[in-house]
Amino acid sequence: MGKPVYLDHHATTPVDPRVLQAMLPYFSEKFGNPASRNHAFGWEAEQAVEHARSRIAALIGASPREMIFTSGATESVNLALKGVAEAYQGRGDHIVTVVTEHRAVLDTCRRLEARGLRVTYLPVDREGLVNPDEVRRAITERTILVSVMFANNEIGVIQPIREISRVVRERGVLFHSDATQAVGKIPVHVEEDGIDLLSFSAHKLYGPKGVGALYVRSRNPRVELVPQIDGGGHERGLRSGTLNVPAIVGFGEACAICQREMEGEGQRLAALRDRLMNRLLAELDEVVIHGSLKHRLPNNLNLSFLGVEATTLMMNVKELAVSSGSACSSATPEPSHVLRALGLPADLARGAIRIGLGRFNTEEEIEYAAGRLIEAVRKLREQSPIYQTMKEKLRSASDAGRQNC
């Protein structure tokens, strides 16, 4: 291949050329501020924003007035969790979430704990799934919010959102979902899924960076939030600040494209993912896939190669853009908190790489990536005495298990 192959679409996606074309006029001739209500430049910008708002809402089955624009999913999560905590402090002081959440949720919960709230962190099973019965048992009379990620950013596991939301609704508690990795890849419908607050970003679905949205249910029940940014009263008073019109227009176009093409694209990506996975499994031994394959995003693969460190492997396949975990925590040497939550030993967790396929990946790229990974793993294993030792231990354990049977 003449250029690097990008396989890190969970970290970010390239802006679709169609999205860029929709955005370009709003950097120059259509430069108005949508808050300027007294002239045509402002009206034109406001019309573009509201059109985008309708397109984004349509993708998730919401009403346009329920969409609040933010700078991205992290801000949306902060507004949802902190906004609910302040608005409902008279009713309770307890939040339920999951150990495998993105740091945007976990770190926000830690901040709320420092303010005196109580947070329950639910475990997951070895496939990365939350048991709805665990959610039911965790909810108390003081619980005001349950927050469960729709699809995991590392292992791609899709949670049983509808089953969880039914449990939460039965107890009269609000339900938030960080759907950053799910929206645009799989069907997400806030009404059918029973979601009260939903966070997501444009740059994960081939839109621009720096813009996101928070869905806030307007009825049955109407969700109250305390704003976290003051000044100007934009976005129904929930998020002040001049709107990023070009990015919002791009966000709307990206969502419209996803709504039209998501089903076919998902099938194509799942086929490419399976092609890559099956070749790796066929040509290498001791390959471990992390997380449920049945309940999984179509473009995700997270796996370890026994005896091979992820950082060393990535240094040997520099022409492949893959990661060793979340983009937000890739600088830390600690094993992924998501993989540790699955019960993986530290050495296997440190060996995991995350592959995220995308809209513009080709069969040729997938075949090339498979070949390079196989070549690199074989080379590193030949150089490593650790691999042979680990393999012997596994063989001994397997033999002992057969004898006990």
331 and 351 in a single domain? The answer is yes
Instruction: Specify which residues 214 forms β-bridges with.
Output: 68, 199
Does 186 lie in the same domain as 64? yes
Q: Which of 109, 255, 328, 405 is catalytic?
A: 328
- Same domain as 364, residue 276: yes
* Dihedral angle of Cα 373, 374, 378, 379, to the nearest 10 degrees: -50
Judged against a pLDDT cut of 90, whether residue 3 lies above it is answered with no
Q: What six digits make up the tokens of 93?
A: 């002081």
Residue-range definition of the domain harbouring residue 280: 5-10+262-404
Copy the structure tokens of residue 291: 């997380």
Q: Answer yes or no: do 156 and 234 share one domain.
A: yes
Query: Tell me, what's the pLDDT at 364?
Result: 97
Q: Characterize the bridge pairing of strands 118-122 and 287-289.
A: unpaired
Q: Provide DSSP, 222-277.
A: PPP---SS-SS-TGGGTS-S---HHHHHHHHHHHHHHHHHHHHHHHHHHHHHHHHH
pLDDT in tens, 171-206: 999 999 999 999 999 999 999 999 999 999 999 999
Residues paired with residue 201 on neighbouring β-strands, in sequence order: 212
Pair 294, 322 in one domain: yes
Please indicate, yes or no, whether residues 251 and 339 belong to a single structural domain of this protein.
no
Q: Are residues 22 and 71 in the same domain?
A: yes
Average pLDDT over residues 16-34: 97
Q: How confident is the model at residue 162, as a pLDDT?
A: 98
Give the residue from 257, 290, 323 where a domain finishes. 257
Does position 339 have pLDDT exceeding 60, yes or no? yes
CATH of residue 174: 3.40.640.10
User: What pLDDT does 386 receive?
Assistant: 74
CATH number reported for the structural domain that contains residue 301 in this entry: 3.90.1150.10
Q: Residue 376 pLDDT > 60, yes or no? A: yes
Starting at the earlier edge strand, list the strands of the sheet with 67-70: 67-70, 212-216, 197-201, 174-178, 143-147, 94-98, 118-122
Residues 214 and 358 in one domain: no
Verify that 276 and 237 share a domain, yes or no.
Answer: no
pLDDT, average across residues 294-311? 95
Q: Which of 227, 257, 287 is the last residue of a domain?
A: 257
Domain boundary among 223, 257, 291: 257
Q: Annotated catalytic, 109?
A: no
Within this chain, do residues 124 and 250 fall inside the same structural domain, yes or no?
yes
Inter-residue contact 144 to 174 (CB < 8 Å): yes
Q: What pLDDT band is residue 75 in, cutting at 50, 70 and 90? A: very high
Please report the pLDDT score of residue 352 as a whole number. 95
Q: How many domains would you assign to the chain?
A: 2
Same domain, 90 and 116: yes
Q: Are residues 186 and 54 in the same domain?
A: yes
Would you say residue 100 has pLDDT above 80? yes
